[in-house]
Amino acid sequence: MPFQEKSAWIMTLALLLGGAFYFMTVISMSSAMGRLASPNIPVVVVYTIILVLISILGHTLIALFSPKEANARIDEREKLIFVRASSISSYVFGFCVITALGYYLISNDGDFLFYSVFASLMLAQLIEYVVRIALYRTSI
């Protein structure tokens, strides 16, 4: 398995765990309040810390076990994989944000807009890593 595919697996795991933490916290806060909780900076900070820690730990481990791969340049096939995955995820992000903005025009709920755009960022990045993994698996 190429280093960049391993990296995509680590980032997929980090986004899934971080996103689960974030939205479970928001759901918990919202149910306690009886309405959608306003965005909370400390929760975003903890989410970011989770992503960073998993990313650093995971990438350190895979670099320790395969240092030559970690320092290798990406080849043309990998560049194409990155471009294709980025392109697909950008369409997902654009669609989700446009949908969130449309819903905002109807509802005027700024808190929901924040969560929708934040979820769109997470989803688009997650899809980029999943597509990378799929393209690595199908192009070998």
Residues 8-58: tens digit of each pLDDT: 999 999 999 999 999 999 999 999 999 999 999 999 999 999 999 999 999
pTM of model > 0.85: yes
Side chain identity at 119, as an amino acid letter? A
Q: What is the pLDDT of residues 92-135, one digit of tens each?
A: 999 999 999 999 999 999 999 999 999 999 999 999 999 999 99
> Which among 28, 57, 50 has a CA at the least distance from the CA of 40?
28
With b for 16 or more beta-carbon neighbours within 10 A and e for fewer, the 87-119 pattern comes to: ebbeebbeebbeebeeebeeeeeeeebbbbbbb
Quick one: 134 exposed, middle or buried, by C-beta within 10 A (0-12, 13-18, 19+)?
middle
* pLDDT value for 64: 92
